[in-house]
Structures are given as structure tokens and as C-alpha cells.
Amino acid sequence: MKMNYWVKYSQTEASAVNWNLQTSWSVVMSIVFCFLIANPVNAQVTPGDAVGQWEKEGNIITIPTSNADIKLEFCTPSMVRVRASWDGEFAEPEPWMVTQYDWGPVQVESSEGDGFYDFETTDLRLRVSTAPLRIAFYSSGGELLSTEKLASSGGGMVKNQDTVSVKKKLFPEEQFFGFGERMDFVNQRGKKIKLNVGRGLGRPHIVGAYNILEANYSPVPFFMSTRGYGIFFHTPYRSTWDMGHSNPDSYSFKAAGELDYYFIHGPEFPSILDSYTEVTGKSPLTPKATHGLNVGTYSGGTWGHEEHTSTDYVVNLGRKFKELGIPADILHLDSTWRIFGKNGHGSTTFEWRETFDNPTAMFDSLYAMGYDMVGLHVRPRYDNGKKYNLLDRAREANMVYPEPDNSGEFVNFFDSTAIDWWWENGVSMVVEQGAMFFKTDEGSAFGRKANESNKVGPQGKDAERLHNVFPVAYAKVPFERFSKENNMRGFNLTREGYAGIQRYPYIWAGDWPSEWQYFEPVIRAGLNMGLSGVGYWSHNMGGFEHKADPELYIRWSQFGMFSPIAHVFGMDHPGYKEPWNYGEEAQRIFKKYDRMRYRFIPYIYSEAWEMHNTGMPLMRALVLEYQDDENVYGIDDEYLLGDNLLVAPVTTKGAKTRIVYLPEGTWYDYWTGKEYKGKEYHNIVTPLEKLPLFVKAGGILPQRNNIESLGEQPADTLTLEIFPHGTSSFEIYDDDGSSKDYENGEYAITSISSEDSDDQIEVGVEAPEGDYEVPERGYKLLVHLDDKPDAVEEDGTQISSASSLAAFRDDIHSAAWYFDEESGQLHIRLSGSSSDDITATIEK
């Protein structure tokens, strides 16, 4: 009798799924009884020996064994899905973690020898030992990548009652990276890891909820090995990973449910991430405005201070950012915008607090100021307010997730009818007033105790199975529904996630106190998210709870402006992490780095396009691009932002210097242009004003003029900042910044190249290519040089030099150049525009 826990739910949305078990209790007990007779309690059952003849259907090879059935599905030449069933049944596809199940034909050659089968593609060779069954993975060149065959006893696939596991050989030099948003370590070799969505049980205290070893807001059951492969354990259940902790010669992973994992050969990490995100989905592009500053607010009154909330506070907050010249584009109102209903714990009533006089006028005012999107904080549980009594009505209509005695409170995001009810009876009211997105909070409360209270969500086997994927289902709905409602790209801010959450961005790192001890772990969390296929990630600049000391606020904000998403928000009453509440110096430096981020939007947005296509995150741990350099394996406080920038935040209070490791190659200090040799450690002076930034040799950084918001007109001039070294290039990505037309090819690419030789530097700027029509723009070059050039030409015609930098800036209509000897910067204004190809030549 088939027991299938991925059961499709036939409703108005084809993607909606109901995972309730369809098998009767009597049948279940019969199966369990038969299993217990054949397999005593606590007995570990391996697949046993291969028996009979293996069969091939399409890309799938099925190998019967004495105790189980093994399926090997070759998804691509470099990726194979391994599944084992001890009852002869395999689960149907599920839509939350995996989106790609239909793969094109893969040519697989087979052969047999004494005690083994070989299956080989152009990239991988699997050797299946037959007695007992063990699987080893080799590259096409014959290099052993991974094997279940251990010198000692044990190894391979095992079923122990409801738990399945795999044990593999751990090689001496092998290191492991990934596992989602972990704050403890980047390299997980030798560690024991438990993956289950949640920060920590109980209310926030110094120990427990703030335990970085326990924090697991967004676990991802996926890792990459420096031997050139990755493994994605396709399970919704909590999982345990022993990466050499118990035995330095082996590693293992286990969970309840079915044994189902993907083996992915790179050998480079970027290639592994590309394949992993082909399985679980690529990140979409969010609206261009979301790449600017995102501001959160408690509207003047956090928990315990709700009487101070008001629409005036929100409008004045939005106005103050504009008046002070601090660019911001996105704003969200956190939980105190609404009544905390009769059930308590901040569940969602969709009823505005009485202190908000006219929410519609508030939204209108913010949009009139130039804010692109304004959103609201919600939780996934209904509550009764003073007017709508949504909880009672949802229960009466059977629109909550089922719990005993009709006690359910959670929106059933696995049921399309319940989703429609939630939208029509709750969400639509705030949409009509002006809300354009949600902050979907507390997804971890489904199936376990909530972080913020002692409230317990749904319990039982079904809830245990759905717990980790609930945050994905939760984020998916408003992401897609608001996209349809707004007639633009989706956007969602969420705290919890699991495999596949990158499809409904973005993640923020959670509620960490404003203390120095939590600053570096938050950086670590971002690195691990990128190593797990999640690129749009953020954190609360300056921390969340407690008043940050001004130095911490400044250092954290510098990091925040060079994070994938820049997000400022706090619950410290009355400061709320608003920059003017931390002193004049903090406000000035915050503004400086915010405006710098906005200048870098062409670079950041182009890197987001690469992420959408390849799975490469915006924020990259050094090991992602330098996996053969053992020096980077333990580095958890530096990262690459895109291809060309290395960022090294200062995380020590009072630090005047910090040690920075620069990987192989040549690097330049962004601020001074000083050249540094790579694969070495350097002591860098770090005054409070300075975030250590380094540019990869040959790096090209496209920038636009200073702006107050991304809703302004497209840049009429782009500056291309170049650090010449050999041959390099960069592709600037352009689209309309809002619609989903880019998915149908409505975009353009502008190719930039730099060629540095002994006697000249040649910079090429090609006209944009693609279906999107880029508004005509001009170009400036900012080239870092050691010496003043002899001449500068544009398309073979010499350009005149300006007498001073002021004269260069004043004459904005003609081509000119000026070399600043003190800074080593060559300023060039070109006469050509984006309508034609341009070649600039700098004679040394």
C-alpha cells in the first residue's frame, strides 16, 4: 500500500498542495506491524546486496537490493539524484524545496564488472558495489570525489525505524561549507549540526535565544566540499549532520522520511551553486528600488510603547530622510501598526491601532515623497480585533490550519482556498489603503514553540513534517499575490526560510541585540546564506534590540550599506536605529555610505542579474571563488560583494587597524589606490570613517551620479571607475527596473572592457545590446594610475586636458581629461554616448 506524503491538493491554484496523509490508520498499523516483525526495534537496515537486474527508464536507473530499491536519476551529466526506499514506494514531487523535476535526456554509459556496476556520463562516473551495495562518485577523469565505502565497518545508506541516514568517507583535506544561515562557523568540518528552522526556544535572554550556536532562522540542507562536489539532502524534516565530529574518517547526515539526496559535481563552487539553484530555483530580480535603502519603523512605539505610535510619526520619518539628503526608497511598518488582539502574542488582526488617524493618507504622503514601496509587518496567525474578528470567522469557515477542537490559528498556506480567504478578508483591506508588500515574520512558530512567546503552534507528525517548509509556503503567497496586485515584480521581506527560499526574497538575519559580540556572527550568517544559494540577504544595521553605542552603529552601518540589501531598523525606544539619534558623526557617516551605495547601484544591480542567472550570491565568502586556498577556509569577516569588491568590516570596538587577508592576485585599496600583493595578510589602518574596501586588479565599477531615490530619471551619465591591470571586463545590466518583462528578454547589456599594456590603456564601451531600449547616456572614466598620461584619445581623436579638476567639472559639455597627481586619479569625460561604441586610449 503506497504511503505518499507529497499528496497533491486539487484546488484553484495548481501549485497548492495538501500534505495530509491519505492512508487510513488501519493500513498504516498493518504496514508498521509487518515491518516490526521483519526488523526488530532499533535494528539498522541497510539496502543489502544488489539482486536481480538493474533497469533503466529515461534518465532513471533502478537497482533492486535484498532490502530496498535504489534509484539513480541523472538530472544532468554532473548531477545525480540518489533515492532509497525500503518499502518499494517513492514519494511524489513536492513544490516547496524543489521546482525542477523534468530534466532533458542525459547520455549514460553502463558497464559491469566483478562485484560492481559502472554508470558514466561525460562528467561523472558512479561505481555501485553490489555486495553490499555502496556508491562511489568519480569525476570523468577517474578522480574519486566521494564514497560510501569505508575502511572501517559501517558506511552507506541505513534505515533505522523512521530515520534514514548516509555515512560517507571523510578525506583528510576535505572542508565543508553551506548549511544555511548559521552564525557559528563558516567551515563546518569536524562539527555536528542540527538543521531545524528557529532561533532558539523561549523568550529572548542572554543565553538561549541569543545563542549563536543554536540560531537557525534559515537552515538549508545543502553543503559544498572542497573536493569539488555538493550534496543537497531533499528532506523537509529536521536533520542532523555529523561532519567528522564523532569520527574524523567519516561524515553522515540523517532525518526522518525518505532517503533522497542530490550529488552535484562542480568541481568549482560557483558551478555547484548553479546546479543546486537549478534544482531549487534561481533568485528573481526584485524591483530596482529595493536595492536602495530599506527603512523599518515601529511608527514611534515598539512593544510596551504602543501609545506613541501614529501616522504622523511615519510621515515625519519619511520626510526627515528626504530633508536630510539621506536616500531611501523602501519603508515598512513593523508590528505595532495594528491592534494586538484578544489572543495576544502579536498575531495579525488587520485592524489599525487607534493612534493611526488616516492610513490611506499616510501611504499617499509617502508615495508623494518618492518612496517606491511601503509595506506592513504580519504574522501567520489570525487574531480577533475590535471589528473584524478574523480568527473566529476563519475557524468557522475552516480556513485555518486544522488543530484539535477547532483551535487552529495559522493561515493554511498549503491550501489555496484558505489562501484566497486570507487575501480577500484580511490582506485586501490594507492593499486598498496602499500597502505594497509584507514583512512575513515568525514562520518558525509553525510546528514548534514561537521565538517571541510561549505560544505553541500546530503539533503532531504532519506539523513536524511541514515545519521547515512552512516559511517557504508563507513567503511565497504574498510575494506572488502582491506581484499580481501591483502588476510588477514580487518583493517580500522574511526572517525564516529553508531550501528554496531564494525564490521569494529577501531574508533578514533576525533580531540580534546591539552588542559588539553579535556583529561578527551576523556577518558569518550572511556568508553562509550566500554559500547556500541565497543571495538577497540583509540584517538590522546597528543591531535590533538595545541602544547601540555610536561606534558600533557606525561600523555596522558601513557593513550594512555594502550588504546585498541595505536595511536599517531597530526596536530600541526611542532611538529605533534612525541615524540622527546616534550623534552628528554617526549621521554624517551613515549618510556618506548610503549615498555611496546609491552611486554603486549600476554595479550592484548588474551583479544581481548575474545572481539571477547563475546562482552566484551578491555577498560571497572568499572560499566561494578561492576554494583551493586553505588560508580562506576560516575567514568569516571578509567577503566579496560581486566580482570586483572585497569588503572587510571592522568588528572590534576601538580598533585603529585590522588584519585583512587578500586572496591570490593583485588588489588595490579603494580609498587610496595603493597596490597590495595577494595571498598575503596586510595590516590596514582603519579610522572610524573608513570601511576597508579593496578592488580586484582590473576591476571596473560602474557608478551613477548622486541621487535621492531610485525613482528618479535614469542616469544621463555613468562613471566607470577602473583599476587597470591586464585584460578585464564588466557587463552593465539595464531593464525597466520594475516589471517582469526581463524574464522575456526585455533587457540590455553594455559591455565594458579594459586592456592594460606597457605603453597604453584601452577602454572599450560598447553600445547596449538587447530588447530593452536604454535611455541615451554619456560616460566618464575614473582611472587609477601611477603617473600622468602623455595623452588621451577618444576614437582616435586627442582630447584636451583641463587646467584643474574644478575646470574639468565646470565644462560639462565637451570631452576633456585631468590627472590628479595627489590621488592618482585620471578623470576623463567622453563626448560619445551610449548610441555608439566608444574606444578611449590612454597613452602612458
CA-to-CA distance for 312 and 296, rounded, in angstroms? 15
- Label the pairing between strands 144-147 and 825-833: unpaired
CA distance 333 to 352: 11
764: nearest Cα among 775, 779, 784: 779
Specify the residue for cell string 546597528: 542
CA 716 to each of CA 704, 705, 833: distance values in angstroms, whole numbers, following the listed order: 8, 9, 10
Q: Between residues 539 and 2, which one has the greater pLDDT? A: 539
End-to-end CA distance of the chain: 79
Rounded to whole angstroms, the Cα distance separating 669 from 696 reads 9
Q: What is the mean pLDDT of residues 728-745?
A: 98
- pTM to 2 decimals? 0.94
Q: Which secondary-structure segment (H or E) carries 57?
A: strand 55-57
pLDDT of residue 15: 37
Residue type, position 820, single letter? D
Alpha-carbon distance 813 to 818, whole Å?
15
Average pLDDT over residues 287-296: 98
Query: Can you tell me which residue has the cell 498493518?
Result: 30
Residue 662 to residue 669: CA distance in whole angstroms: 11
Evaluate if residue 561 carries a pLDDT over 60. yes
* Omega prior to 267 cis, within 30 of 0: yes
pLDDT digits (tens, 9 = 90+) for 391-430: 999 999 999 999 999 999 999 999 999 999 999 999 999 9
Over residues 793-803, the mean pLDDT reads: 96
Percent of the chain whose predicted confidence (pLDDT) is above 90: 86
Residue 1: all three cell numbers together: 500500500
Distances (CA, A) of 221 to 239, 438, 462, 539: 8, 26, 20, 22
Q: How far is CA 768 from CA 285, 304, 720, in A?
A: 20, 54, 15
Burial class (CB in 10 A: 0-12, 13-18, 19+), 606: buried
CA distances from 283 to 297, 361, 523, 529, 743 (A): 27, 34, 21, 13, 12
- Give how far Cα 802 sits from Cα of 786, 791, 839, 844, Å: 19, 12, 20, 18
Comparison of pLDDT for 1 and 86, the residue scoring more? 86
DSSP 120: E
What does the pLDDT read at residue 454?
Answer: 66
Q: How far apart are CA 538 and CA 521, in angstroms?
A: 13
The pLDDT confidence band at residue 810, using thresholds 50, 70 and 90, is: confident
144-153, 286-295, 419-428, 646-655: lowest mean pLDDT where? 144-153
Using pLDDT thresholds of 50, 70 and 90, give the confidence band for residue 452. low
- Complete domains list, the chain, with CATH: 1-38 (no CATH), 39-280 (2.60.40.1760), 288-615 (3.20.20.80), 620-686 (2.60.40.1180), 713-843 (2.60.40.1180)
> Which of the 8 DSSP states describes residue 734?
E
Mean pLDDT of the region 628-646: 98
Name which of 71-80, 426-435, 457-466, 493-502 the model is least confident about.
Answer: 457-466
CB distance 164 to 158 below 8 Å? yes
- The Cα 401–Cα 20 span in angstroms is 11
Q: Which amino acid is at 455?
A: K
Q: Which residue has the higher pLDDT, 180 or 209?
A: 180
Buried b (16+ CB within 10 A) or exposed e, 396-434: eeebbbebeeeebbbbbbbbbbbbbbbbebbbeebbebb
**Which amino acid, 142?**
G
All cell numbers assigned to 48: 543489502
Quick one: cell of 302?
515598539
DSSP structural state of residue 627:
T
Beta bridge partners of 299: none
Work out the angle at residue 743's Cα, subtended by the Cα atoms of residues 741 and 749, and round it to the nearest 5 degrees: 85
* Cell numbers placing 682: 596586510
For 706, the grid coordinates are 548622486
Q: What is the Cα Rg of the chain in Å?
A: 28
Q: Is 439 helix (H, G, I), strand (E, B) or coil?
A: strand
Rounded average pLDDT over 474-501: 97
Cell of 678: 595577494
Nearest to 468 by CA among 198, 776, 119, 129: 198
pLDDT at 22: 34
Residue, of 202 and 812, whose pLDDT is higher: 812
Please, which pLDDT band fits residue 8 given cuts at 50, 70 and 90? very low
Residues whose CB is less than 8 angstroms from the CB of residue 389 and which lie 6 or more positions away in sequence, other chains included: none
Please give the single-letter amino acid code of residue 365. Answer: S
At 649, list the grid cell. Answer: 568590516
Give the pLDDT mean for 479-497.
Answer: 97
- Which helix (H) or strand (E) element contains residue 168? strand 163-169
pLDDT at residue 676 above 70? yes
Give 494's pLDDT tier (boundaries 50, 70, 90). Answer: very high
C-alpha dihedral sign at 17, 21, 24, 27 = positive
Confidence of residue 447 (pLDDT cuts 50, 70, 90): confident
Q: What is the mean pLDDT of residues 713-728?
A: 94
Look at residue 12 and tell me whether its pLDDT is greater than 70.
no
Q: Grid cell 557608478 — which residue? A: 703
Over range 595-619, report the average pLDDT.
98
Q: What local confidence, expressed as pLDDT, does residue 344 receive? A: 65
Q: What is the pLDDT of residue 204?
A: 54
Of 826, 520, 828, 823, nearest in space to 669 by CA = 823
- pLDDT of 39 reads 44
> What phi-psi label fits residue 340: left (phi over 0), alpha (psi between -120 and 50 degrees) or beta?
beta
Mean pLDDT to the nearest integer, 80-100: 96
| pLDDT value at residue 453 | 61
| Average pLDDT of every residue of the chain | 92
Q: Tell me the pLDDT band of 206, cut-offs 50, 70 and 90.
A: low
Q: What local confidence, expressed as pLDDT, does residue 52 receive?
A: 87
Nearest 10 degrees: CA dihedral of 242, 243, 248, 254?
40
List, in sequence order, every beta strand (DSSP E) within 257-315: 259-265, 293-297
Section 569-597 average pLDDT: 97
Distance CA 76, CA 99 (A): 15
Q: What average pLDDT does the segment 254-264 reach?
A: 97
- The rounded distance, in Å, linking the Cα atoms of 313 and 463 is 40
Confidence of residue 26 (pLDDT cuts 50, 70, 90): very low
pLDDT score at 202:
53
Provide the pLDDT for residue 345: 67
Helix (H) or strand (E) segment spanning residue 365: helix 359-369
- pLDDT for the residue numbered 4: 35
> φ and ψ at 758, to 5 degrees?
-65, -35
CB 231 within 8 Å of CB 263: yes
- Average pLDDT (679-705) is 97
Residue 342 CB neighbour total at 10 angstroms = 14
Q: Per-residue pLDDT averaged across 589-608, rounded?
A: 98
The residue with greater pLDDT, 149 or 239, is 239
Distance CA 408, CA 395 (A): 7
Query: Can you list the positions of beta strands (E) in 347-459?
Result: 373-378, 437-440
pLDDT of 367 > 60? The answer is: yes
pLDDT given at position 33:
38
How far apart are the C-alpha atoms of 651 and 640, rounded to whole Å?
A: 17
Q: Which cell is 440 given?
A: 512575513
Helix (H) or strand (E) holding 164: strand 163-169
What pLDDT, on a 0 to 100 scale, did the predictor assign at position 813? Answer: 81
Q: Tell me what pLDDT residue 811 has.
A: 82
Average pLDDT over residues 617-624: 98
Tell whether the model's pLDDT for residue 631 goes beyond 90.
yes
Strands (E), 544-638: 566-568, 619-620
Name beta bridge partners: 224: 177, 230
